[in-house]
Structure 1
Amino acid sequence: MTGPVIRPMAEADLPAAMEIEHELFADEAWTEGMLLGELAEQPRTRHYVVLEREGEVVGYGGLAAAADEGDIQTIGVRLAHQGGGLGAALLTELLEEAGRRGCRAVFLEVRADNEPAQRLYEKFGFVRIGIRKRYYQPSGVDAIVMRRDKQ
């Protein structure tokens, strides 16, 4: 058994990414067109990666970066593979890329009802700076806005 491999996301990875997106986010999932639009901005302002285990894409993540700020756009790991540090590995890769791009601060939004993700982000030095009411649609769940300054 080989360890997980993180590599740049390609258009050929869209079907797997969309499966994960729908598994995790259901009716709040990004569309394929949205993700394709993000990939079109690589490497200029975007950095998207997939995480493979045994040749299967089991996770993905994306960063937007402009000037000296970054934004974690998305991180997702298949339910069957959660709890084993794969989300942390993806977050580490995205934060390292933010550093390579000279980001002084990185932001993200996380569902107010996703406590495991909030704990992960806090372990990585993110702090809560605000709330976006009813940010996630159609559920109307609030988003907690978090920020991490360059370490």
Structure 2
Amino acid sequence: MSDTGIRPMSTADLPAAMVLEHELFGDESWTEGMLREELAAMPGTRHYIVLEENGSVVGYAGLAAVGGDGDVQTIGVSAASQGRGLGAALLTELLAEAVRRGCRRVFLEVRADNEPAQRLYERFGFVRIGVRKRYYQPSGVDAIMMRRDEP
């Protein structure tokens, strides 16, 4: 049985988060500086979390929340840990934080070629609202824009 938990991300988590970032997103990874800037905005307009399993960071996620709208900035689970509901656990926590912050809508972009992530978001009530052509660079993959309205 594993010991799994979600907690706020700190700058001490940056090395582990960057390993996952490069594993999951390759050439389209955020830089450490970008993630550091996001963490500097906590708790103001940002909420970043990590998911630990047996003492190791196996996932992370972030939410921006401003003016009644939330935006899922990033969400990722190590390839070895995928398929066990950990992404859903991270998303559940982001959506709970969006509610705590009074967000009426939550937006996100997801790669058009990432069908498992699209299915996850649809299960959580997100609907497709548009496409951003060639959004992801350097691959040029389109982004599906999605929105979830809070009750």
Q: How high is the TM-score relative to the length of structure 1?
A: 0.99
Deviations 1:94-148 (Å, cap 9, x if unpaired)? 0000000000000000000000000000000000000000000000000000000
| 1:29 and 2:17 aligned | no
CA positional deviation for 1:2: 3.6
| 1:70 and 2:70 aligned | yes
Query: RMSD in angstroms over aligned alpha carbons?
Result: 0.6
Quote the residue 1:6 is aligned against: 6
Quote the residue 2:99 is aligned against: 99
In structure 2, the gaps of 5 or more residues are none
Separation in 2 of the partners of 1:4 and 1:66? 30
Separation in 2 of the partners of 1:85 and 1:30? 24
Quote the residue 1:89 is aligned against: 89
Separation in 2 of the partners of 1:58 and 1:76? 8
Quote the residue 2:137 is aligned against: 137
Deviations 1:18-64 (Å, cap 9, x if unpaired)? 00000000000000000000000000000000000001000000000
In structure 1, the gaps of 5 or more residues are none
SS of alignment partner, residue 98 of structure 2: helix
Separation in 1 of the partners of 2:50 and 2:70? 19
CA positional deviation for 1:4: 1.6
SS of alignment partner, residue 62 of structure 1: strand
Separation in 2 of the partners of 1:105 and 1:118? 17
Quote the residue 2:121 is aligned against: 121
